[in-house]
């Protein structure tokens, strides 16, 4: 079979000089702190107590590595995502799959046979932080999302299903009938598959076809051993089981969140595992929080921003969801502006999900250079005319400033949003922004005088 999966990505990182190998024995509890210090992605080849297993981490914890995954330059990731997602490719089903080389059912199901890492100081337990979770609904078909899992017992994990999502909707439907929701969890898939899974696609959009579009070839899927679901054939590890119909009753967390904050205990369902399958020489993927999550979030936020701008018929030139705001809470864009479009662009970008801070500049500004951005904000902004404040918009609980602890149980927080139009104001002549240029700069070369 063609292998554009997890392993081929590890090879790509290696070829780009972006993969470090650690051969000394490492304890599961040391993996995250070690991975955090490495300036490359890291493969731990010797895990104490887990012969045969390796652990890979920090695969996309920088934009550079994400660009390796996308096969483009760093600043083109969002545009590549936008272009490729417009050409989805449906998955195909295969018979034999590497992810099912080893099969454990019934009494053999034992999560402690997998090197699950205890990642952060306050975590409620070891976590499986990066998953590709497949479920199915009779009306809406297969669905994929990224969901984290907390170890509970050898056959059970917690799952974070507090936020509105398609899988939460599927679960609620099953719960209403008093039935469990069968799900299959793949660990160790290509980062492009993770991007497709985490993309907030409309409920009837196939994340599998989106993943195919991003890869440029169909995802190969194989039928689960115990469920009527299909999983990526080239994954490293599969957990087959069901979400128990117990509602939001089991404690889950704390966990080091993508907001860079150690989260709270949440009330969530339980995932009971019936079957574990994996490759013969498996690699466990420990998605390093928060950076891998944040760099996966950024292109998704940026692509949504591009879409919002195009719907508002504003022409985007560049866009960035800074990692400092977790690739999620801020958007900065440059546009080819016609009169008034600075404000249209601000309004469009403020409409994206929980984005709460937006800056829009003209296309002469390099938005990846903070000094350029400061310069535009200093000289193109009049606060009373160019700042837009939107009150009472949708927010996320994990932003402490929205004070969600003041809400009743199940209450949803709101937030104010700020947009800054840092485009040259209408009526101000462009010539007033002419940059300093040294006399004779094009003709005189220092090297001729040395």
Ligand X SMILES: Cc1cc2nc3c(=O)[nH]c(=O)nc-3n(C[C@H](O)[C@H](O)[C@H](O)COP(=O)(O)O)c2cc1C
Chain residues in the site for ligand X (CB under 6 A): 130, 143, 145-148, 160, 163, 165-167, 197-200, 287, 293, 296
Q: Of the two residues 146 and 304, which places its CB atom closer to ligand X in the complex?
A: 146
Calculate the CA 225 to chain-centre distance: 28
The torsion angles phi and psi of 377, rounded to 5 degrees, stand at -65, -35
Q: Of the two residues 100 and 143, which places its CB atom closer to Mn ion in the complex?
A: 143
**Bridging pattern class, strands 237-243 and 270-278:** antiparallel
Nearest by Cα to 342 from 423, 419, 427:
423
CB of 163 to ligand X, least distance (A): 4
Nearest by Cα to 42 from 32, 50, 52:
32
Nearest by Cα to 35 from 289, 297, 323:
289
Q: Of the two residues 40 and 198, which places its CB atom closer to ligand X in the complex?
A: 198
CB of 205 to Mn ion, least distance (A): 7
CB of 427 to ligand X, least distance (A): 43
Nearest by Cα to 136 from 218, 223, 250, 215:
223
User: What distance in Å separates the CA atoms of residue 419 and residue 421, rounded to the nearest whole number?
Assistant: 7
Which entry of Mn ion, ligand X, none binds 318, CB below 5 to 8 A by partner kind?
Answer: none
Which entry of Mn ion, ligand X, none binds 362, CB below 5 to 8 A by partner kind?
Answer: none
The mark string for 151-170 relative to Mn ion (x by CB under 5 A, - otherwise) is ---------------x----
Q: Of the two residues 43 and 197, which places its CB atom closer to ligand X in the complex?
A: 197
Which entry of Mn ion, ligand X, none binds 365, CB below 5 to 8 A by partner kind?
Answer: none
CB of 255 to ligand X, least distance (A): 8
Q: Of the two residues 84 and 148, which places its CB atom closer to ligand X in the complex?
A: 148
Query: Using omega within 30 degrees of 0 as the cis cutoff, is the peptide bond preceding 296 cis?
Result: no
Q: Of the two residues 196 and 376, which places its CB atom closer to ligand X in the complex?
A: 196
Which entry of ligand X, Mn ion, none binds 160, CB below 5 to 8 A by partner kind?
Answer: ligand X
User: What distance in Å separates the CA atoms of residue 137 and residue 156, rounded to the nearest whole number?
Assistant: 23
Which entry of ligand X, Mn ion, none binds 356, CB below 5 to 8 A by partner kind?
Answer: none
| 135-154: contacts with Mn ion (CB under 5 A) | 143
When asked if residue 193 is in the footprint of Mn ion (CB under 5 A), the reply is no
CB of 439 to ligand X, least distance (A): 52
CB of 36 to Mn ion, least distance (A): 31
Nearest by Cα to 229 from 219, 218, 241:
241
C-beta nearest to Mn ion: residue: 166
Which entry of ligand X, Mn ion, none binds 146, CB below 5 to 8 A by partner kind?
Answer: ligand X
User: What distance in Å separates the CA atoms of residue 129 and residue 175, rounded to the nearest whole number?
Assistant: 25
Q: Of the two residues 255 and 421, which places its CB atom closer to ligand X in the complex?
A: 255
What element of type H or E holds 11?
Answer: helix 6-15
Which entry of Mn ion, ligand X, none binds 296, CB below 5 to 8 A by partner kind?
Answer: ligand X
Collect all residues with Cβ–Cβ distance below 8 Å to 154 and sequence separation of at least 6: 109, 110, 111, 112
Q: Of the two residues 259 and 344, which places its CB atom closer to ligand X in the complex?
A: 259
CA dist 25 → 2, 116, 284, 286, 388 (Å): 33, 15, 15, 17, 55
The residue ranges of DSSP E strands in 68-140, in sequence order, are 92-93, 102-105, 127-128, 132-137
CB of 214 to Mn ion, least distance (A): 15
CB of 327 to ligand X, least distance (A): 9
CB of 200 to ligand X, least distance (A): 4
Torsion of CA 137, 200, 267, 187, to 10 degrees: 80
Q: Of the two residues 165 and 330, which places its CB atom closer to ligand X in the complex?
A: 165
Exposed e or buried b per residue across 243-257, where buried means at least 16 C-beta atoms within 10 angstroms of its C-beta: bbbeebebebbbbbb
> Which residues sit at the interface with Mn ion, rule CB under 5 A?
143, 166
């Amino acid at each position: 079979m063609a292998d554009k999966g997890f392993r081929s990505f590890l090879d790509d990182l290696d070829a780009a000089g972006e993969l470090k190998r650690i051969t000394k024995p490492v304890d599961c509890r040391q993996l995250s702190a070690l991975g955090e210090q490495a300036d490359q992605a890291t493969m731990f080849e010797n895990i104490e107590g887990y012969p045969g297993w390796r652990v890979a981490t920090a695969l996309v914890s920088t934009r550079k590595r994400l660009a390796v995954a996308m096969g483009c330059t760093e600043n083109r990731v969002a545009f590549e995502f936008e272009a490729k997602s417009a050409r989805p490719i449906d998955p195909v089903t295969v018979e034999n799959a590497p992810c099912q080389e080893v099969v454990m059912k019934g009494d053999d199901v034992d999560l402690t046979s997998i090197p699950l890492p205890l990642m952060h100081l306050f975590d409620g337990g070891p976590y499986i932080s990066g998953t590709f979770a497949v479920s199915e609904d009779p009306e809406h078909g297969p669905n994929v999302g990224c969901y984290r899992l907390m170890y509970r017992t050898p056959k059970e994990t917690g799952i974070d299903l507090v936020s509105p999502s398609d899988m939460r909707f599927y679960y609620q439907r099953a719960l209403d009938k008093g039935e469990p929701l069968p799900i299959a969890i793949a660990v160790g898939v290509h980062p492009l598959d993770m991007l497709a899974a985490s993309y907030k696609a409309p409920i009837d959009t196939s994340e599998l076809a989106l993943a195919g579009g991003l890869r440029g070839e169909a995802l190969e899927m194989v039928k689960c051993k115990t469920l009527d679901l299909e999983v990526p054939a080239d994954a490293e590890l599969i957990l087959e089981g069901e979400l128990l119909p117990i509602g939001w009753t089991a404690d889950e967390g704390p966990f080091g969140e993508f907001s860079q904050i150690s989260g709270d205990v949440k009330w969530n369902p339980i995932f009971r595992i019936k079957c574990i399958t994996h490759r013969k020489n498996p690699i466990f993927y420990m998605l390093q929080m928060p950076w891998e999550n944040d760099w996966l979030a950024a292109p998704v936020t940026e692509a949504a921003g591009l879409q919002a701008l195009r719907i508002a018929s504003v022409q985007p030139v560049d866009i960035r969801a800074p990692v400092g705001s977790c690739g999620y809470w801020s958007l900065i864009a440059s546009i080819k502006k016609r009169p008034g479009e600075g404000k249209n662009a601000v309004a469009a970008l403020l409409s994206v999900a929980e984005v709460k801070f937006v800056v829009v500049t003209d296309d002469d500004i390099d938005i990846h250079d903070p000094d350029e951005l400061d310069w535009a904000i200093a000289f193109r902004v009049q606060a009373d005319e160019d700042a837009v404040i939107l009150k009472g918009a949708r927010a996320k609980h994990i932003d402490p400033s929205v004070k969600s602890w003041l809400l009743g149980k199940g209450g949803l927080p709101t937030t104010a949003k700020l947009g800054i139009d840092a485009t040259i104001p209408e009526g101000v002549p462009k010539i007033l922004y002419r940059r300093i240029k040294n006399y004779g700069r094009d003709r005189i070369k220092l090297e001729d005088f040395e």
